[in-house]
């Protein structure tokens, strides 16, 4: 299992982006979380297979129909924490 963190920049807050991200993570069978950041970006931590994470990354580049994604940063993380579901953090 691989863990990636994503930071999504653009018009991604106040447009349902966290919900749509949660829904896509559920569809792909990923675990982790999504949350708004103080600077207007959205942070995502996702765990899954290489293929699942590649599909998720491609989706994040496009975002939901209500959002405008300018760019996405991604980082591979080493963690001992294993998530059991995907959550929206408020």
Q: Is residue 58 within a helix (H) or strand (E), and if so which, with residue range?
A: helix 50-62
Residue 86 near residue 30 (C-beta atoms within 8 A): yes
State the catalytic residues: 18, 36
What CA–CA distance (Å, rounded) separates 78 from 34?
Answer: 18
* Beta-bridge partners for 16: none
């Amino acid at each position: 299992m691989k863990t990636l963190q994503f930071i999504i920049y653009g018009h991604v807050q106040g447009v349902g982006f966290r919900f749509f991200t949660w829904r896509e993570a559920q569809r792909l069978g990923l675990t982790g979380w999504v949350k708004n950041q103080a600077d207007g970006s959205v942070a995502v931590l996702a765990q899954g297979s290489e293929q699942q994470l590649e599909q998720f990354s491609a989706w994040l580049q496009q975002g939901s129909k209500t959002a405008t994604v300018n760019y996405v940063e991604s980082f591979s993380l080493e963690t001992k924490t294993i998530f059991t579901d995907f959550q929206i953090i408020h």
